[in-house]
Chain A
Amino acid sequence: AQKITQTQPGMFVQEKEAVTLDCTYDTSDPSYGLFWYKQPSSGEMIFLIYQGSYDQQNATEGRYSLNFQKARKSANLVISASQLGDSAMYFCAMREMGGNQFYFGTGTSLTVIP
């Protein structure tokens, strides 16, 4: 089974609007971390936000927030007030406390329309 599933291959959003990128995960480890990365066309992976499985609050970092629904095993990324520079690939990832690997989804391509 896939550890991380991103079901939206491509998304479009109007500039200044908010957008939600979906991510669901699969683990039996009670302790894990969830990550979102941005990959612009240059190729470098940029860390955006982290959510721990025991965190009570949803993580926020500037315009990025993580909608964490533990029971549904979902960790959606919300980008508010989209900017043209937000156009990129976005990857959801997970690391289980009991393991050494990071598991990545297949990514969502976001295009911000002026």
Chain B
Amino acid sequence: DGGITQSPKYLFRKEGQNVTLSCEQNLNHDAMYWYRQDPGQGLRLIYYSQIVNDFQKGDIAEGYSVSREKKESFPLTVTSAQKNPTAFYLCASSISATVYRTDTQYFGPGTRLTVL
């Protein structure tokens, strides 16, 4: 079955610890994205990647880091520099990174991070 997996579904960490959220897709999509969602809010873009070994900051990149060493994988690290990391994190992918196509994003099930 093709899709996007995120693990774990729930994650608890102590304040001051870095934590890495996993995102894997087997859709052969070029572009991948990380969003943060706070209660009652819309989605805010953290980072996105159009191709392997390349990524760009979104609107709220401070305190986060990413890597894109493989097409299928786009892990997000929430560092201790992120002031309010408790949130719901969604990973997404879309087929093409080119500007000549408008392709929908498909989302993973999300990871709910709670920092104690």
- Give me the interface of A with B, judged by CB distance under 8 Å: 31-33, 35, 37, 42-47, 50, 52, 91, 93, 95, 97-102, 104-107
In angstroms, Cα B104 to Cα A52, docked, is 11
Which of B88, B90, B104 contacts A50 (CB under 8 A)?
B104
Q: How many chain B residues touch A (Cβ–Cβ < 8 Å)?
A: 26
Contact, CB under 8 Å: A44 / B105: no
B74 within 8 A of A: no
Among candidates A37, A43, A98, A100, residue contacting B112 with C-beta atoms closer than 8 Å = A43
CA distance A26 to B31 in the complex (A): 24
Report whether B43 and A97 are in contact in the complex, using a CB–CB cutoff of 8 Å.
Answer: no
- Residue pair A43, B110 in contact (C-beta under 8 Å): yes
Among A44, A46, A104, the residue within 8 A (CB) of B43 is A104
State A104–B109 Cα separation when bound (angstroms). Answer: 18
A–B Cβ pairs within 8 angstroms, 17 of them: A31-B102, A33-B104, A35-B104, A43-B110, A43-B112, A44-B109, A45-B43, A46-B107, A47-B107, A52-B102, A91-B43, A95-B102, A99-B99, A100-B48, A102-B33, A105-B42, A106-B41
Q: Are A100 and B97 in contact (CB under 8 A)?
A: yes
For the complex formed, measure the closest distance between the CB of B54 and the CB atoms of chain A, giving whole angstroms.
11
CB distance B43 to A100 under 8 Å?
Answer: no
Contacting residues, chain A, for B106 (C-beta < 8 A): 47
Instruction: Give chain B residues whose Cβ lies under 8 Å from the Cβ of A47.
Output: 104-107
Q: How far is the CA of A23 from the CA of B43 in the complex (A)?
A: 15
| Contact B110–A44 (Cβ < 8 Å) | yes
CB neighbours (8 Å) of A107 from chain B are: 41-42
CA distance A31 to B98 in the complex (A): 13
Q: Please, which residue of chain B has its CB at the minimum distance from the CB of A53?
A: B102
Contact of A100 among B31, B92, B100 (CB under 8 A): B31
User: Which residues of chain B have C-beta atoms less than 8 A from A33's C-beta?
Assistant: 102, 104
Q: Does B50 contact A (CB under 8 A)?
A: yes
A102-B99 contact in complex given A45-B90, A107-B42, C-beta closer than 8 Å: no
A103 to chain B: closest CB distance in Å?
9
B16 near A: Cβ within 8 Å? no
Q: Would you call B56 an interface residue if the criterion is a C-beta within 8 Å of the partner chain's C-beta atoms?
A: yes
The verdict on B108 contacting chain A, using a C-beta distance below 8 Å, is yes
